[in-house]
Amino acid sequence: QVQLVESGGGLVQAGGSLRLSCVVSGRTLSNYRMGWFRQAPGKERDFVAVITWSSGLTRYTDSVKGRFSISRDNAKNTVFLQMNNLKPEDTAVYYCAAADLRRGIVDRHEYDYWGLGTQVTVSS
């Protein structure tokens, strides 16, 4: 049973920073990529960033490029999302997810495992 547990969300002023963590337990996901998604009230759950466990390759949605950075610590089975220069439009629940490497990257339906999410609120 794979479990993903996010932490690190909170309330921050515009221009501030937060670091989200996602701890993976239950099995090794070496053939998976780890993604971060976010969902604002009344909106769809959208792709934010992704990293491949084995190679460390990353990809970002355009709106966060240059501000967010995804990384992983293989020894600790943890994925991070460093968020800098936060904007009010970044306010959302942020979810960690895992997808097999053979599946798609940005489509949330391609992801097999999900955490429960962590709230990020950015005040103006």
Facing residues of 95 across strands? 37
Alpha-carbon gap, residue 65 to 88, rounded angstroms: 16
Is pLDDT above 90 for 104? no
Is pLDDT above 90 for 30? no
Of the candidates 56, 26, 45, 57, the residue with the CA atom closest to the CA atom of residue 96:
45
Is pLDDT above 90 for 6? yes
